[in-house]
Structure 1
Amino acid sequence: MTNQILLACIYLAVFLFLQRALTHWVRKLAQMKQVSVTRTSLVTRFISYVMFFITLSLMAVSLGLGYQDVSLFVSSAFAVMGVALVAQWSILSNLTAGVLIFFVFPYRIGERIKVVDKDEDISGIIVEIALFHVLIHRDNGDMVTYPNNLMLQKAVLKLADQTPLAQRQAQSDSKKRFDPE
């Protein structure tokens, strides 16, 4: 029994060490890519939950619950989650795309992009990159909420920085800086 408790403590210590190391790595990557704090915390929380679920399963096996009992519980939980997420496949695909965008998306907030779409011109400045969508502010003032899974499926072009909207914002910023008020 003491060996099992010792093994469970080792699993817990490894979990805590890996969680802190991965959290530090994700935050460092987020600072390098200039990602918002909210988005960074969502990704680190998601990674922590997955790691905790794996650690809990390993601890249950090491405490003597039996591999078959734990695997039955884990497979049942995955089956229920799978059925629920297949019913809402767009949520799962947007969540997965959101995590992928966090690590590999080449565009940042404030950059001007154009999503190549035959039906509509979707171009503007990226305002926010969330876990499920990207907010794009168009030149005419409209705000477009574009799903992350479509952002990965379609071609995205980085456009020149100076647009009518960007020029207006730059002019208003310069007026604010140089106003004697």
Structure 2
Amino acid sequence: MMVKVGLIVLLVVAYVVLSRLLKSSIALLGHKKAVNEVRITYVSKMLHLGMTATFVLVVCLILGVGYGQLAIFFSSVFAVVGVALFAQWSILSNITASLIIFFGFPYRVGDWVKVVDKDDEVLGQILEISTFHVIIQRLSGDVVTYPNSLILQKAVVRFENKEAAQAMSQFVLPAKPDELPPTP
């Protein structure tokens, strides 16, 4: 019994240390990549939730809860969550893509980019990268919300500045706002 208590105390200490290390590492990486504070908080919370679930699982195993009992519990939870999110699978893929974008996306807020899409030109400046989508303001001033899962599937071209982006645009912008073409 004392061994179990000792292991649990050791596990709690390790959990607290790893939790603080994870939070500070994500904050450091986020500041290095010039990521929005809200985004850093979201990513930190998502990874902290996964670490907490692992902690609870390990504590249950130390306390002697059998693999069969844990398997039944987790399969029940996953079945309920799976049914609840079946129609919303894109939410899970966008959250996963959000983590990938945080750690590996080579573009930052403020960059001028073009998402290569055959149906529509999405060319503009990245205003925000959130949990579910990337917000891009087009040259015309329109704002596009592009889902995280789709932006990982498309080629993205980064431009040095606004002038370089305008040079690659398929659309010609008028010099003055009063010269806009008539809408049909």
CA contact (8 A) 2:123 2:165 kept: no
Corresponding residue number in structure 2 for 1:32: 32
Corresponding residue number in structure 2 for 1:175: none
Q: Partners of 2:45 and 2:13 in 1: how far apart? A: 18
* Structure 2 unpaired stretches of 5+: 167-184
Moved more, 78-87 or 106-115: 78-87
Paired amino acid for 1:112: W
**Cα distance change, pair 71–5 in 1 and its aligned pair in 2 (3 A):** farther
- Give the CA deviation at 1:4: 1.8
Query: Does structure 1 residue 95 correspond to structure 2 residue 95?
Result: yes
Corresponding residue number in structure 2 for 1:173: none
Corresponding residue number in structure 2 for 1:22: 22
Q: Partners of 1:126 and 1:163 in 2: how far apart? A: 15
Query: Does structure 1 residue 85 correspond to structure 2 residue 85?
Result: yes
Paired amino acid for 1:11: L
- Give the CA deviation at 1:159: 2.0
Q: Secondary structure at the match of 1:52?
A: helix
Q: Partners of 1:16 and 1:41 in 2: how far apart? A: 18
Across the aligned residues of Structure 1 and Structure 2, the Cα RMSD in angstroms comes to: 1.9
- Give the CA deviation at 1:89: 1.2
- Give the CA deviation at 1:164: 10
Corresponding residue number in structure 2 for 1:3: 3
Corresponding residue number in structure 1 for 2:65: 65
- Give the CA deviation at 1:57: 1.1
Q: Partners of 2:142 and 2:80 in 1: how far apart? A: 40
Aligned length: 166
Moved more, 74-83 or 115-124: 74-83
Paired amino acid for 1:141: G
Name the structure where helix makes up a greater proportion of residues. 1
Percent identity reads: 43
